[in-house]
Amino acid sequence: MKRSNHFLCLFLVATLVTAGCETDKDKEQSARDKDLERIAKQERKRAREHDTDPVIATDRDRPDDRTTDRRGMKEIPAEAQAVGTGEGKRLEYEPTHDGVIYVYDADADQVVFVGRIRDRERFRLDPDGGRALINSRTVLRSDLNPRHRYRLYFDRAN
């Protein structure tokens, strides 16, 4: 009888210790899940803050090249907003303020055009035709590669 009580006591102690360990594991897992959820929420918030320009064709899946060490991007002010991107197709932008427009060739890592543009003027980049226009006036004639990826940036005049 004493032996069965002794085994019963050992069994109960072992059960309680094991249950306590599982609870600690559950708590740790819950804490990890909360941390991951908090981090994901912060990343979503950061992404929304950086994606403030709903203008044309912004490529939301590509990181901003200005955060990397790229020579050509250093010519574009950090305040300039990405307003369009494309590969071998026409890019257009019509600002609502005066400012400066930058055309960046992502594949060649170089700025191919910088020019002032006024409120409500229409900028059009035509890589196939090798030119850029503001309204109907040609502002760039060049050998633009239609297979390259181009990006438009706009820096609003103060």
pLDDT at 65: 46
- Given a cut of 80, whether residue 158 has pLDDT beyond it is no
| CA dihedral for 107, 111, 113, 114, sign (positive or negative) | positive
- What are the structural domain ranges in the chain? 1-50, 65-156
Condensed to tens digits (0 to 9), the pLDDT of residues 38-88 reads 766 666 665 555 443 333 333 334 444 444 445 678 889 999 999 988 776
Residue 21 pLDDT grade (very low, low, confident, very high; cuts 50, 70, 90): low
pTM: 0.56
In Å, the largest CA–CA distance within the chain is: 105
Task: Report the distance separating Cα 83 and Cα 88, nearest Å.
Answer: 16
Find residue 105's DSSP bridge partners.
Answer: 110, 150
